Amino acid sequence: AMAATGRVMRAVRVFEFGGPEVLKLQSDVLVPVPKENQVLIKVHACGVNPVETYIRSGTYARKPALPYTPGSDVSGVIEGTGDHVTAFKKGDRVFTLETVSGGYAEYAVAAVNRVFPLPDKLDFRQGAALGVPYFTAYRALFQKGCAKAGESVLVHGASGGVGLAACQIARACGLKVLGTAGTEEGMNVILRNGAHQAFNHRDPNYIERIKECTGPGGVDIIIEMLSNVNLDADLQLLAHAGRVMVVGCRGRIEINPRDTMSKESSIIGVSLFLATEEERQECATAVLDGIEAGWLKPIVGLEYPLEKVSKAHEDIICSSGARGKMVLLL
């Protein structure tokens, strides 16, 4: 545990794995103290990612020691620094990719190499939508998917945090971008954020519509948010040497491996958690360049106060269609 200043804060704590109701807002949590190569951040906003609901349920591969505070994508202001920190000073606006102490809290400690400057062009809500979604989208497209200008990409579930990030990045980098969403509003959002064409994945014939659009060649890359539903269909949509990037999954699915042989296609898993230091820095450079250039603009969706964190966890899994990144506001 970290040394404490004696100051207390509000933070969400999980004492047992389970449903959204295990998220408990406590008002007497000690403010953590940054150790060497760590910073303390006053949190203004924190992103909510689907993976945080899987971890909370206890069914995910990574199980934090209980009790813990969820949350990795915070934006805020540097409150203090540990030893050897030269990159940031008190008062700097920042966003994080991960935290040490948990992001659903008024203050969070993070390792300095997981913290990046938040450009003035973006507000704190947008800053909380950067870390996991944009780094994951960049990793899926380029570090693992080897995307090239002129190729086509289908973003399957394009209206959420990672999906919109993938649409913006792919469009800026010269790919032909197709996206799916579950609502009219979601389709409009993705068309405004880089997709050349949008499809409603609740339309029973949407796979045929995508095939009409891509022609006999198929699509080069699929960024897949719900592989347990879509993977079998994805393999039919791929071009020769095409690849499905598995970004999200909520269960099992049956496929025919022969479908990969006929096109020499690949199914590639993506885990930001496994990125090397060099790969993380490459993602950060790409993201900061995109903000500077003006095409990278996080879209914030539903916003919740910390008191409504259980509702946020329920809605991110059960709501009828995402439209941007879900955030907690502090």
What domains lie within the chain, and their CATH numbers?
8-57+67-129+298-329 (3.90.180.10), 133-273 (3.40.50.720)
Predicted confidence band of residue 321 (pLDDT cuts 50, 70, 90): confident
Residue 4, pLDDT score = 54
Predicted confidence band of residue 144 (pLDDT cuts 50, 70, 90): very high
Least Cα distance to 242 among 257, 256, 262, 227 occurs for 262
Residue 302, pLDDT score = 95
Q: What is the mean pLDDT of the chain?
A: 96
Predicted confidence band of residue 120 (pLDDT cuts 50, 70, 90): very high
What's the mean pLDDT in 98-124? 98
Residue 270, pLDDT score = 98
Least Cα distance to 239 among 254, 256, 226, 222 occurs for 222
Residue 322, pLDDT score = 78
Q: Are 141 and 223 in contact (CB under 8 A)?
A: yes
Per-residue pLDDT at 46 exceeds 60: yes
What's the mean pLDDT in 197-221? 96
Residue 2, pLDDT score = 55
Lowest mean pLDDT, pick from 55-69, 100-114, 310-324: 310-324
Instruction: Give the pLDDT confidence of 147-176 residue by residue, as tens digits.
Output: 999 999 999 999 999 999 999 999 999 999
Instruction: Give the pLDDT confidence of 3-26 residue by residue, as tens digits.
Output: 556 899 999 999 999 999 999 999
Residue 3, pLDDT score = 55
Per-residue pLDDT at 194 exceeds 90: yes
Least Cα distance to 112 among 82, 77, 142, 133 occurs for 82
Per-residue b or e along 159-177, where b marks 16 or more CB atoms closer than 10 Å to that residue's CB? bbbbbbbbbbbbbbbebbb
